[in-house]
Chains A and B, each alone.
Chain A
Amino acid sequence: MIAFFLIFLPLLTGLLTFFIKEEKLIKGFAFMSVLATLAVSVLGLTLFKAEENLQFTAQWMQPLGSSFSLKLDGMGQLLCLLTAISYPLVFLGSWNSTYKKPNNFFALMLLAQAGLMGVFLAMDALLFYFFWELALIPMYFLCSQWGGERRIQVTFKFFICTFVGSVLMLIGILYLQSKTPDHSFSLRAFYNLELTTKTQSWLFWLFFLAFAIKMPVFPFHTWQPDTYEQAPTATTMILSGVMVKMGLLGLLRWLLPVLPIASYVWGDVVMSLSIIGIIYASLIAIRQDDIKRLVAYSSIAHIGLMCAAIFAENKSGMQGVLLQMFNHGINIIGLWIIVEIIERRFGTRKISELGGLAQKAPAMAIFFVIIALANIALPLTNAFAGEFLMFNGLLNAKSNYYLWFTVFAGLGIILAAVYTLNMIRKVFYGEVNTITAAATDLKLNEKLALGIIVVLIFWIGVYPQAILDVTDNFSQTLTDRVDISHLFRKK
């Protein structure tokens, strides 16, 4: 039942929110809703973690071979928790923003949450596809309605790109379904398929394109910086903090275990693309003057590292990726909250126009520096544990070029330090100018949101085992499933 509530709570409250008129009431109601979802998600991790509570199956589209089956496995628990934590943080952090037609805004945000939960929980390919698209539709309206000046074209590009990817994935799903003995869309049926290397190869690209566009991995990333820049910041937080995880989850649940041979065969190509993406995005980030675009490019670099570590195909890498998915979500939301505060107070996001904020707003500077250091994976912060495991995974990858991959990925870390520290220096230190002279420090709600994030950063940084325990089982099964060495032994 936990799984069911995680989807239907935001869905129901989202639909109700459309009809509320008063702004304060809307915000309060939406906030209560996300808190309730968070409570349900935490219950799923603690009190009700017995198998039968985490599953939900109902009849749906029986003649087509589909069913409404949801399940919280390790990855599902983690990502649902991330989604559930993100929303209160986002609402809290952007509490002071005002929107035209707030009922529609918060309703669509909640519907997007329902869609995201669905993607993370679906154990049936058709259901997965349903939620995959449904998470996108509210995002389309959110970005197009409340975004910046160029929002309509930019969001449209984003929508078309992801739509192309997802329809190609639909073909892949349909083909796999036609190959299952009982014509079923269930994940288990997909796992039991034995396909030839050739079939797996072209199927791999159908699926990979969809996920690569979503993550995004170089060279499919072109929609991302524009969309992050133009979208309203609360939406950007969800897009970058939670939604990109849809692509990574797709790889881990729907691609690697279903098509293990092709994943091994094409692993080098994907890892090369990811590594190119890391270097490329980091170099561009160094040259950015707009903070939002800088964070957007840094996100591409981080996702690239996770994608590469997934294709290392060993347990350490997997655990690192899962941990880092969570960390990246928390950290980037923290960054966006501060970016939004800066934008709202000063009306600019240009690094060159800002300066000296540390004197005027010391609390903001402290929070920002901590989160930024977490973003570049300093020891004691959460990202350090994740990246450490991922690099360990990369070094043990079965690929012949593992050393090169590790070295270049490591270069990405150094570049990340360059652009992040450079931004901190220019924005928070240096001379106070006319724009920043009237700066005021953080408000209570902002302090609260950022405080929670910082606590999470240190807690996971010191004790990552808490998260790793949740996903341990999942990573182990996954690693066993993608291991194709028994095929070689047979020959």
Chain B
Amino acid sequence: MNALIISAILGVVMMFSSILLKQKNAVRSVAVSGIILLLLANILEMSGTVFFKVNTRGMIVFDQFALLFNSIIFLATLLYLLLSAKDMEKVGVNYAEYFALIFFILCGITLVSSFKSLLILFLGIEIISIPLYILTGSDKRNLKSNEASLKYFLLGSFSTGLMLMGIALYYGARGTFSTVIDPLITVTANPLLISGMSLLLFSMAFKVSAAPFHFWTPDVYDGAPTVFTSFMATIIKAAVFIGFIRLFDDAFEQVQSTWRIWIAVMTAVTLFIGNITAVFQQSVKRMLAYSSIAQAGFMLLSLYSMNTEAKEGLLIYAAAYCFATIGIFAVLAKMNDYTFDGFNGLSKREPLIAATLTILLLSLAGIPLTAGFLAKFYMLKATIATPNSLWLVIFAVLMAAVSVYYYFRVIQAIYFKEESTSSPTIEFSPFFKGAMLILAGLVILLGLFPDILVNWLYF
């Protein structure tokens, strides 16, 4: 509850800060302290200190899972702001508004991670989506940014429509919006419920860009200003995933046999399309867009297997994926050239940035010692415990091997290729380097001791 209310207030504060504060540095400091406050308030709630007592009539429940997830998201956002907040200046003039929108999105995320009623889910998704449409189009003079925004808005509204329709059908089948089901009641798979479920499945799949609902992703990610692409591809995606898994874990648990095979097919297709298409990209930004689809495929495995390990694993996956991708996007946002060649010879100019970037890329590729490996490991372990799913596991690891190809292309450019002499040098501030070092450190720490994260779930 702390996070929900504080993030909403912070959103309003940031809106007014543009009038009150003339200095961009000041705005940035307010935003960073705001997110630290949010993180602390949320951690306090995990240990039992709740500032606001609101009776939500069981529509929102902040359990340990939701709170831990929120903490991960706030930590990721903090790191994101530390790395990328300065680059937002380049996007447009409404600097403070961007932070306001980000805080509103965080407010939506707290709803999505803790809903017990489909209405709250809908509210949460909308609160996330509408600021996102604006952020996508925030580079107003850039035609690609406008195109991306429009495309995202149209398709996003369409999927929202599907979701509403699904919620309506669910209400028709069950007579309530609540996702809490008394274990004594057996839910029968009647057509009303199943069609409602499938519409919800489609709309959620759209939001996490799972195939075959992924077509918007590359264009929108490519068109949006890189700093905001980073936010969309990591924090938003992870948040919607939590909503996704909560929805199917609570509301549709008893009809699992119906949707499990759908999810299996969706996972396989997502993994295939994401990985294979990423191999052929020439721009690192588009490669990361497809890689985000591929990683979503891996996260879908948690939905497929839906056991304790899967849920723990999703938390680790969300953290590992967010940390790594935020760092890579932050460096990318500073590049002049978004092709693979743009990274040529980075190790000679900036050995520290090169080394941290390599650790993050290794994590995305799933090499041991990094959080990315353990994340994938949890997913595979959860899936292998599910009967008759060996084919999916084998397919997934083969696709993971494909992913090595495109992540290592960046590493090859960084270390083994000579830079072209004409390119202007890029400045990395010591502060930025420090933040990258923290990210890389977190990735390795989590890769060695996942317990420090997972143990929070149980006390």
Interface on A for B, CB 8 Å cutoff?
61-64, 129-130, 133-134, 137, 141, 144-145, 151-152, 156, 159-160, 163-164, 167-168, 170-171, 174-175, 177-178
Write the nearest CB–CB distance from A327 to chain B, whole angstroms. 31
Which of B369, B405, B454 is A160 in contact with, Cβ under 8 Å? B405
Query: A129 touching B416 by the CB < 8 A rule?
Result: no
Q: What are 13 A-B contacts with C-beta separation under 8 Å?
A: A61-B451, A63-B451, A129-B368, A130-B368, A133-B367, A144-B412, A145-B415, A163-B404, A164-B398, A167-B398, A167-B400, A174-B381, A175-B390
**Any chain A CB within 8 A of the CB of B118?**
no
Using CB atoms, name the residue of chain A closest to B393: A171
Q: Which residues of B contact A130 (CB under 8 A)?
A: 368-369
Which of A137, A144, A177 is B416 in contact with, Cβ under 8 Å? A144
**Any chain A CB within 8 A of the CB of B408?**
yes
Q: Which residues of B contact A171 (CB under 8 A)?
A: 380, 384, 390, 393-394, 397
Interface membership of chain B positions 379-395, coded 1 if the CB is closer than 8 angstroms to chain A and 0 otherwise = 01100110000100110
**Any chain A CB within 8 A of the CB of B93?**
no
**Any chain A CB within 8 A of the CB of B401?**
yes
Query: A133 touching B384 by the CB < 8 A rule?
Result: no
**Any chain A CB within 8 A of the CB of B450?**
yes
Q: Which residues of A contact B401 (CB under 8 A)?
A: 160, 163-164, 167
Write the nearest CB–CB distance from A230 to chain B, whole angstroms. 12
Query: A168 touching B394 by the CB < 8 A rule?
Result: yes
Query: B451 touching A62 by the CB < 8 A rule?
Result: yes
Q: Which residues of B contact A156 (CB under 8 A)?
A: 408, 412
Which of A144, A159, A174, A177 is B415 in contact with, Cβ under 8 Å? A144
A144 to B390, CA, bound (A): 35
A63 to B309, CA, bound (A): 10
Using CB atoms, name the residue of chain B closest to A65: B381
Write the nearest CB–CB distance from B388 to chain A, whole angstroms. 13
**Any chain A CB within 8 A of the CB of B169?**
no
Using CB atoms, name the residue of chain A closest to B378: A64
A50 to B368, CA, bound (A): 32
Query: Could you tell me the dominant secondary structure of chain A's interface residues?
Result: helix
**Any chain A CB within 8 A of the CB of B362?**
yes
Query: A167 touching B415 by the CB < 8 A rule?
Result: no
Query: A160 touching B384 by the CB < 8 A rule?
Result: no
A437 to B456, CA, bound (A): 73
Write the nearest CB–CB distance from A176 to chain B, whole angstroms. 10
Interface on B for A, CB 8 Å cutoff?
362, 367-369, 373, 377, 380-381, 384-385, 390, 393-394, 397-398, 400-401, 404-405, 408, 412, 415-417, 449-451, 454
Q: Which residues of A contact B380 (CB under 8 A)?
A: 170-171, 174
A3 to B237, CA, bound (A): 44
Query: B368 touching A141 by the CB < 8 A rule?
Result: no
Q: Which residues of B contact A170 (CB under 8 A)?
A: 377, 380, 397
Write the nearest CB–CB distance from A138 to chain B, whole angstroms. 12
Q: Which residues of A contact B404 (CB under 8 A)?
A: 159-160, 163
Which of B384, B400, B416 is A152 in contact with, Cβ under 8 Å? B416
Query: B412 touching A168 by the CB < 8 A rule?
Result: no
A165 to B134, CA, bound (A): 46
Q: Which residues of B contact A168 (CB under 8 A)?
A: 394, 397
Q: Which residues of B contact A151 (CB under 8 A)?
A: 416
Query: In the complex where A130-B368, A145-B415 touch, is A178 in contact with B450 (Cβ < 8 A)?
Result: no
Q: Which residues of A contact B373 (CB under 8 A)?
A: 133
Q: Which residues of B contact A174 (CB under 8 A)?
A: 377, 380-381, 384, 393
Query: A159 touching B381 by the CB < 8 A rule?
Result: no
Q: Which residues of B contact A129 (CB under 8 A)?
A: 368
Query: B393 touching A145 by the CB < 8 A rule?
Result: no
Using CB atoms, name the residue of chain A closest to B397: A167
- 15 more A-B contacts (CB under 8 A) besides A134-B369, A141-B415? A61-B450, A130-B368, A133-B367, A134-B368, A144-B412, A145-B416, A151-B416, A159-B404, A159-B408, A164-B398, A167-B397, A168-B394, A171-B390, A171-B394, A175-B384
Q: Which residues of A contact B390 (CB under 8 A)?
A: 171, 175
A130 to B448, CA, bound (A): 10
Using CB atoms, name the residue of chain A closest to B415: A145
Query: In the complex where A167-B400, A178-B384 touch, is A137 in contact with B367 (Cβ < 8 A)?
Result: yes
Q: Which residues of A contact B451 (CB under 8 A)?
A: 61-63
Q: Which residues of B contact A160 (CB under 8 A)?
A: 401, 404-405
Query: Which of B368, B373, B398, B412 has most chain A Cβ within 10 Å?
Result: B368
Q: Which residues of B contact A62 (CB under 8 A)?
A: 451
Query: Which of B397, B450, B451, B454 has most chain A Cβ within 10 Å?
Result: B397
A392 to B381, CA, bound (A): 43
Write the nearest CB–CB distance from B247 to chain A, whole angstroms. 27
Q: Which residues of A contact B369 (CB under 8 A)?
A: 130, 134
A145 to B417, CA, bound (A): 9
Write the nearest CB–CB distance from B402 to chain A, whole angstroms. 9
Q: Which residues of A contact B412 (CB under 8 A)?
A: 144, 152, 156
Write the nearest CB–CB distance from A201 to chain B, whole angstroms. 13
Query: B385 touching A178 by the CB < 8 A rule?
Result: yes
Write the nearest CB–CB distance from B456 to chain A, whole angstroms. 13
Write the nearest CB–CB distance from B443 to chain A, whole angstroms. 15
A372 to B334, CA, bound (A): 56
